[in-house]
Amino acid sequence: MRVLGKSDVTVSRSSLGTADLLPKNHLWNQIHEKSKDDMQELGPGDARPTALQIIKDAGREGGLVGKVILITGCSSGLGIETARALVHTGVTLYLTARDLDKPKSSLGNIVESPQVYLLHLGLNSMASVCTCAEEFQSRSYTLNILIANAADRFEIQFGTNYLAYFLLFYLFRHCLLSLSTPAFNSRVVIVASSVHRISSVHFDNLSLEGEYELWKAYSQITELLRHVSEEQKADWEKNKFLINYWKSTEQGAVTTVWGAVARELEGIGGKYLDNYQIALPADPAQRHGPGYAVWAYSPEMEKRLWAISLDLLNEY
């Protein structure tokens, strides 16, 4: 997960982590290691915090009244749990989904709150992104936090998992920057995957024409389990090591929520986050460990990708 702040845009990124690679004094590490020592069962629902606990620990319950957050991907999973936690801050929430019946079903009474609004957004259509932005701006002049939680002539993963979010941010950029203050920076939190470490961006062949490989394409974007076979999932479920570090959805939304509300991130932008801490470079020897790839912080690549994105989306 990557977080951006006032001067650029704060983006944050989370991934499946290995406790041994985290600082020994990190709270997540302490909780997990103590559970091991006490022979407690590890895995989803263990002693690690939930997104709501992050809100409480940050002292943000009822503390964001008057602020506005837009969260994409609120059909199920992490988007839903992120919304469930953030509603306790008193913030006004705009939640997007392609099928609006899904958040209505998943969130129950929460969607009946006068502080919660649903917006249609199909990330496989740039026209839908523009329509969603127009509808939001017709309802609100305020946007303090944008959470991009996970296609028009573009390779589907590149178009849906990157370009659509780039366009959405670009349409909201003036609103985000104009409302940012020293006391409360506007933030953009983008949920991504550690699979980006497999490959850098192929600038000369963004659609990977003639050499399409699922993981190579996926590593340019996000979202792991959508591209894994049922057989592979079954194998993972038998792996005790992996089970120890899997999380419930309430726990999985922790880093997203931390990126949105953590006071210690105020004024800090452009950081990758991992298990609610600022991430370090990934250990190349650890395929499933935490951290980011060396090319994730490349000013030259950032400028090039920005320019290409503007060119591709020029008509919008």
**pLDDT tens, 94-149?**
999 999 999 999 998 999 999 999 999 998 899 999 999 999 999 999 999 999 98
| Residue 164 C-alpha from the chain's centroid | 14
pLDDT for 236 equals 65
18 neighbors 7 (Cβ within 8 angstroms) = no
Higher per-residue pLDDT: 20 or 83: 83
Residue tagged 């992996």 (tokens): 242
In a 3-state reduction of DSSP, which class is residue 273? strand
Could you give the C-alpha distances from 207 to 104, 210, 284, in angstroms and in order? Answer: 35, 9, 26
Instruction: Provide the b/e sequence for 208-228 (b: ≥16 CB within 10 Å).
Output: beeeeeeeebbbbbbbeeeee
CATH number for the domain that contains residue 301: 3.40.50.720
Higher per-residue pLDDT: 213 or 188: 188
pLDDT for 252 equals 83
pLDDT at 93 over 70: yes
Alpha-carbon span 125 to 160, nearest angstrom: 8
Query: Mean pLDDT, the chain, as a whole number?
Result: 77
pLDDT for 65 equals 96
Count of structural domains within the chain? 1
pTM (predicted TM-score) = 0.77
pLDDT for 207 equals 55
Alpha-carbon span 109 to 111, nearest angstrom: 5
Higher per-residue pLDDT: 255 or 294: 255
pLDDT for 282 equals 83
286: domain range? 2-312
44 neighbors 52 (Cβ within 8 angstroms) = no
